[in-house]
């Protein structure tokens, strides 16, 4: 009987390396793949390999993945996903900032690359499943697949996986979902993997030194236009360097002298204006979300009382979620939330299970 084949996305880090090792130990036919996704000279010259060595597409990261694959005795391939990444992730990243929104490129990457293009490649290679090193769990309950938070509350990555539907979840493994980061590093040492103590990066992979402003300046050049900073009454109180460099809730770097701290309340791309106000003006109780994905495969009807997160590191908050037509939902929080930001994702939970989510429109 042939073993079931699993395509494991290997970034060269400890998480994906241990994921591959665990699946190999469990008897699967494991194939390691490293996805090349960004152009090394995209918009700002060659990246500094020394500074960017931890990122998922650096030369050293690919070499680490190959070394781990050799130790595990599994084949390893490098896949070129640069074009689809540029079309689906990088172009969206730039466009969102140009329109006064703050994108989450990791969510776009998961949707279109790691669980989109990779699944298609798995079909081409005759693989039954794909696997990643994400900290989340997939379980079958009541005849449906559910995605649940990872055991490690600090590392839980279910927020960035809300777009996975029933068909995708039926073919995905998250071997680290029931482990903590400490346990994963311990396993890496036991497996004899050279990446056991490798430092991890939280940066955007295609942005050098996590400096998105320099990145945008490099790719947009003279398309960035300075403009007015105005208060809530429309009075000009300062000048901005380009709306691309500002995000909702921002306090630092406004260059405005004022008796009380000022925050970015909204961004108006039509007027090329940044609107500021006091801290209380940044708080919001409601939002409308679009581009919805629900794990069940369909938008729930009626009003649901759920927990919601408006960004990756935000705490969960009680909210009422109601479909309002045209592929949108209105989310009303019981307590005001700080800096509800268009372009970010709102993700809904019931207990530790992901219900779904969408992009914050306004």
Per the domain annotation, does 219 fall within a domain?
A: no
- Which CATH number goes with the domain that contains 327? 2.40.30.10
Q: Are residues 301 and 242 in the same domain?
A: no
Band the pLDDT of 201: cuts 50, 70, 90.
confident
Number of domains in the chain: 3
Helix, coil or strand: residue 284: strand
- Which CATH number goes with the domain that contains 242? 2.30.30.280
How far is the CA of 159 from the CAs of 137, 188, 311, in angstroms?
12, 25, 8
Domain boundaries, position 71: 5-210
How far is the CA of 111 from the CAs of 45, 106, 308, 323, 340, in angstroms?
28, 9, 20, 22, 22
Last residue of a domain, one of 151, 180, 210: 210
DSSP one-letter string for 308-358 = EESSTTSPPEEEEEEEEETTEEEEEEEEEEE---BTBEEEEEETTEEEEEE
Per the domain annotation, does 155 fall within a domain?
A: yes
Cα dihedral value 219, 248, 158, 351, nearest 10: -170
Q: Are residues 205 and 233 in the same domain?
A: no
Q: Are residues 52 and 171 in the same domain?
A: yes
Band the pLDDT of 93: cuts 50, 70, 90.
very high
Q: Are residues 184 and 242 in the same domain?
A: no
Per the domain annotation, does 122 fall within a domain?
A: yes
pTM given for the model: 0.91
What's the pLDDT tens digit per position in 229-267? 999 999 999 999 999 999 999 999 898 988 899 999 999
Per-residue confidence (pLDDT) for residue 208, from 0 to 100: 83
Q: Are residues 198 and 229 in the same domain?
A: no
Q: Are residues 197 and 265 in the same domain?
A: no
CB-based burial label for 130 (10 Å; 0-12, 13-18, 19+): buried
What's the pLDDT tens digit per position in 301-321? 889 999 999 999 999 999 999
List phi, psi (to 5°) of 137: -125, 145
Q: Are residues 11 and 128 in the same domain?
A: yes
- Residues with a catalytic annotation lie at 109, 205
Per the domain annotation, does 168 fall within a domain?
A: yes
DSSP one-letter string for 144-178 = EEEEEE-S-TTT--GGGGTT--HHHHTTEE-TTTT
Q: Are residues 13 and 152 in the same domain?
A: yes
Query: What is the rounded CA–CA span in Å between residue 119 and residue 41?
Result: 27
Q: Are residues 68 and 185 in the same domain?
A: yes
Taking all residues of the chain, what is their mean pLDDT, rounded to a whole number?
91
Query: What is the rounded CA–CA span in Å between residue 309 and residue 311?
Result: 6
What's the pLDDT tens digit per position in 6-63? 999 999 999 999 999 999 999 999 999 999 987 654 444 334 444 444 455 566 889 9
What's the pLDDT tens digit per position in 127-182? 999 999 999 999 999 899 999 999 999 999 999 999 999 999 999 999 999 999 99
Q: Are residues 126 and 158 in the same domain?
A: yes
Per-residue confidence (pLDDT) for residue 56, from 0 to 100: 56
Helix, coil or strand: residue 7: strand
Q: Are residues 78 and 9 in the same domain?
A: yes
Q: Are residues 296 and 204 in the same domain?
A: no
């Amino acid at each position: 009987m042939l073993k079931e084949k699993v395509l494991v996305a290997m970034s060269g880090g400890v998480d994906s390396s241990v994921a591959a090792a665990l699946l190999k130990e469990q008897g699967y036919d494991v194939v390691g793949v490293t996805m090349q996704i960004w152009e090394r000279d995209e918009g700002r010259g060659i990246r500094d390999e020394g500074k960017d060595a931890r990122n998922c597409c650096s030369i050293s990261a690919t070499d680490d993945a190959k070394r781990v694959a050799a130790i595990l005795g599994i084949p390893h391939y490098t896949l070129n996903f640069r074009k689809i990444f540029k079309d689906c992730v990088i172009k969206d990243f730039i466009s969102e900032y140009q329109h006064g929104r703050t994108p989450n490129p990791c969510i776009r990457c998961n949707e279109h690359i790691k669980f989109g293009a990779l699944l298609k490649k798995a079909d081409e290679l005759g693989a039954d499943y794909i696997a990643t090193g994400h900290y989340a769990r997939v379980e079958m309950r009541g005849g449906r697949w559910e995605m649940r938070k990872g055991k490690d509350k600090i590392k839980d990555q279910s927020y960035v996986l809300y777009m996975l539907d029933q068909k995708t979840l039926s073919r995905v493994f998250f071997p680290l979902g029931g482990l903590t980061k400490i346990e994963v590093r311990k396993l890496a040492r036991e497996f004899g993997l050279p990446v056991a103590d490798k430092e991890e990066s939280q940066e955007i992979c295609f942005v050098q030194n996590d400096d998105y402003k320099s990145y945008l300046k490099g790719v947009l050049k003279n398309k960035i236009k300075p403009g007015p900073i105005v208060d809530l009454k429309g009075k000009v109180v300062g000048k901005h360097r380009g709306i691309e460099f500002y995000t909702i809730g921002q306090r630092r770097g406004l260059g405005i002298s004022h008796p009380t701290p000022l925050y970015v309340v909204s961004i108006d791309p039509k007027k090329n204006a940044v609107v500021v106000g006091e801290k209380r003006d940044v708080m919001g109780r409601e939002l409308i979300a679009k581009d919805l994905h629900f794990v069940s495969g369909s938008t729930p009807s009626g009003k649901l009382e759920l927990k919601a997160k408006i960004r990756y590191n935000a705490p969960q908050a009680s909210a009422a979620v109601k479909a309002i037509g045209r592929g949108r939902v209105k989310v009303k929080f019981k307590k005001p939330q700080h800096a509800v930001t268009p372009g970010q994702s709102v993700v809904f939970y019931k207990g530790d299970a992901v219900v779904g989510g969408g992009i914050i429109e306004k």
